[in-house]
Amino acid sequence: MVWLDSSGTILPADGPPERYRVSEDLYTVRQHVTVDQTDTNTFTCIVQQPEINHKKETEIHVPDLKFPKSQLIFGLLTAAVVVVLLAVGLYKWRKRIEEKKLRKRLKNLEQHVKDFKLARDERRDARVVDMNRFHLIQTVTTVIPIAFYLIRSKKYSEIHAARTRQDQIKLLYEALDSGSRKLKKKSDFYRILLDLEPDAVISCGAKFVDDHKYYLIQKVTLVKPIIYELFYELYCNPRTSKMNTQDQMRQLYQALEEAEDTRRFKSDFYRILLHPDPRILRDLGKNLSTSGYISLEYKPYLVYHLGKNLSTSSYISLEYKPV
């Protein structure tokens, strides 16, 4: 028994033929074969009996419905693959958009942080300049070069024509207090002093931190933000978080003493103190004054003007101007 497809190709059988004798001269032969769908779905079965040279063949037509819907399945599979690819592409596209938005937000956040730090430092610098006006008037010597850089008005001619150095710097202060961008001008003044006459601004801050060590240890409450700015390693130490504020302040003072440039770090500590808790310096003036005169004035922003030495009976003026 042989099976042929519509093109005459022999089809492999699924097994040997099965023979059943029906009568003395008649046999039934059965064989299974698996066929694939063709153009005509016509298949031929040929039965031969070589002993008597007998051959018989029959054409069998298999309806299309008997075959599985391979094309439909293929189409469905293709559609599913396309849908999956579209979904993956859409996911990646949305992910890139989200990442782009995230990068933009991070960039904006970084710029906001940068602007915030710049504005904060300008306020601190300006407060140092305001608080130590009397000290700087007495000590700063390079007034004309500083005024040449800072002042772009006829006020510079007045400063240049002033007879004494103290008159020059008083006029310079008048120029800093007038016009727009006051904080920026005072911050630039502070930064120039750090370059030209660093001791003029560093000494007052370092002396303040040294003279009032024990009072500050008792009164400063926002210690961790200060440690974060000055000594990040100390801030990251788990022991620091477990300490109370007074012990944190003692650790901070120890780190200040051990710093390579201890006076500069103390001056930076002094600048930071001007911002978070202005009541400390206000109360400090009350507690340290014996026979000195204390003036407290509340105005729209924070400025302190402290005498050269708070521990003496010299005139002390504190102006507390809350933000």
Whether this model's pTM surpasses 0.75: no
pLDDT digits (tens, 9 = 90+) for 134-158: 999 999 999 999 999 888 888 889 9
Would residue 14 count as lying in a domain? yes
Instruction: State the pLDDT at residue 8.
Output: 77
Domain that holds residue 49: 2-66
Do 80 and 74 touch, CB atoms closer than 8 A? no
What is the count of structural domains for the chain? 1
pLDDT digits (tens, 9 = 90+) for 13-40: 777 777 766 666 676 777 777 777 677 7
Instruction: State the pLDDT at residue 318.
Output: 40
Would residue 231 count as lying in a domain? no
pLDDT digits (tens, 9 = 90+) for 115-126: 888 888 999 899
Would residue 245 count as lying in a domain? no
Would residue 15 count as lying in a domain? yes
Would residue 12 count as lying in a domain? yes
> In angstroms, what CA-CA distances link 108 with 95, 103, 111, 121, 186?
20, 9, 5, 20, 28
Q: How confident is the model at residue 213 (pLDDT cuts 50, 70, 90)?
A: very high
Q: What is the mean pLDDT of residues 243-249?
A: 94
pLDDT digits (tens, 9 = 90+) for 217-241: 998 888 999 999 999 999 999 999 8
Please state, in angstroms and rounded to a whole number, the distance separating the CA atoms of residues 255 and 249.
10
Would residue 159 count as lying in a domain? no
